[in-house]
Structure 1
């Protein structure tokens, strides 16, 4: 069986990689995250548990949300894969 790689597949992978890179950068730039990661005076209020609780969800959301949107758009626009017999 031959695998067919098309533009939608490559676009989905590229969007997933871009989302997985951009989401943590956006998360790190938020004031709430900066406050937890040492934005207080002399490390007061530093809470490193956000790295274990929030960061995995940010990474997963950043990777899968663009892929989900691309999949829904491909389905709604009627893009169908050619059937291989």
Structure 2
């Protein structure tokens, strides 16, 4: 039982890291982000506030949503266990 719980926890952590990195890279490659960060002559027209406002939210959402979905599926497929099964 303990090994199964450790595997589920490790799988959720790996999925969370992968989701956060994927969400961040997709956000950086998107057209609106490239326009805000890369366009502008001598820093005119660059909006660096997106690094402080959007980037943390994208990173947290990318880390949280896959982990929650994984936990939900693990709970759903694992079934409910009684205290006698532990």
Q: TM-score range by the shorter chain?
A: 0.7 to 0.9
Deviates more, 1:50-59 or 1:75-84: 75-84
Alpha carbon RMSD of aligned pairs, Å?
A: 2.2
Runs of 5+ consecutive residues of structure 1 not aligned to the other structure: none
Q: Is the Cα contact below 8 Å between 1:28 and 1:34 reproduced in 2?
A: yes
TM-score, length basis structure 2: 0.79
Count residues in correspondence. 82
In structure 2, how many angstroms separate the alpha carbons of the residues matched to 1:5 and 1:20? 26
TM-score, length basis structure 1: 0.79
Offset of residue 40 of structure 1: 3.8
Greater share of helix: 2
